[in-house]
Amino acid sequence: MLLILALCDPGEALLNSTLWVQRAAEYRASALQTYAIARQILDAGGAAGSSPPAVILDLDETVLDNSRFAARQLVQGKTFTFGEEWTAWVNESAASAVPGAVEFLQYAQSRGVTPVYITNRTTIHKAPTLVNLQKLGLPVSEETLLVRDDASTDKTARRNAVAARYRVLLYLGDAMGDFPADGDVPRLVVANPMYGSWEKAELKPAALPLPPSRSPCDDSRSGKTSR
């Protein structure tokens, strides 16, 4: 039924995923667990090196929770997009924080570890994004917020620039494009069910069951409860 509704109303595709982010105890537990592991990785970061330590993070759905934008789109019968409506949302500087993100990033700063944010928000989004992060009490500066300045969404060049300056202890993101293809630096994924490259994947339904040989009500007549 949900699949049929989604075909008629694109916003319906966001319903379960947005509810899960906003309301599910399991989402909150998952995010807190990820950031608790991240803290352990920082604590075990090894001996001091010649370069200052840093952690590289994606922003959207890794640090910033945009589920209220998703809900706004949903009630208008729209899906999650990155066009003019997204820019209007970013300009509000109103995204909340993913559970555990603020505490982890403040802890990282207290340990002398610099958080560097590599995001595919563009140059026109930088100023309101800085305001948003600062409102949440996150350690950030012009230099540690690396937005996209061209058409490519590939983050490799920006990651390499950070790695040339810092000793990277950890990567955090919600999509595989947030991580380098190789290397031994730990990587942690924050769950994001609202959007991603998987949206274009082919659905794999189970085979339709054979018609029942008797009514499912038969068991109830004999005192058994069908489940």
Please give the model's pTM, rounded to 2 decimal places: 0.86
- 64 pLDDT above the threshold of 60: yes
Residue 61 vs residues 21, 83, 221: alpha-carbon distances, Å: 10, 17, 50
- Above pLDDT 70, what percent of the chain? 87
Residues forming beta bridges with residue 56, ordered by sequence position: 116, 171
Tell me the mean pLDDT in the region 88-105: 98
Indicate whether 180 pLDDT > 50: yes
Burial category of 196 from C-beta neighbours within 10 Å (exposed 0-12, middle 13-18, buried 19 and up)? middle
- Grade residue 9 by pLDDT with cuts at 50, 70 and 90: low
Higher-pLDDT residue of 205, 167 = 167
Q: Which DSSP symbol is given to 175?
A: S
The stretch 144-167 carries a mean pLDDT of 95
| 216 — pLDDT class (breaks 50, 70, 90) | very low
pLDDT value of position 47: 56
With 70 as the cut, is the pLDDT of residue 55 above it? yes
What pLDDT does 101 receive? 98
- Count of CB atoms situated within 10 Å of the CB of 16: 13
- Give residue for tokens 């540690």: 144
User: What number is the average pLDDT over the span 106-122?
Assistant: 97
| pLDDT level of residue 210 (50, 70, 90 thresholds) | confident
**CA dihedral angle for residue 104, residue 36, residue 60, residue 154, rounded to 10 degrees:** 100
Domains of the chain: 2-194 (3.40.50.1000)
Residue 11: partners with Cβ closer than 8 Å, 6 or more residues away? 73, 74, 75, 76, 77, 78, 79
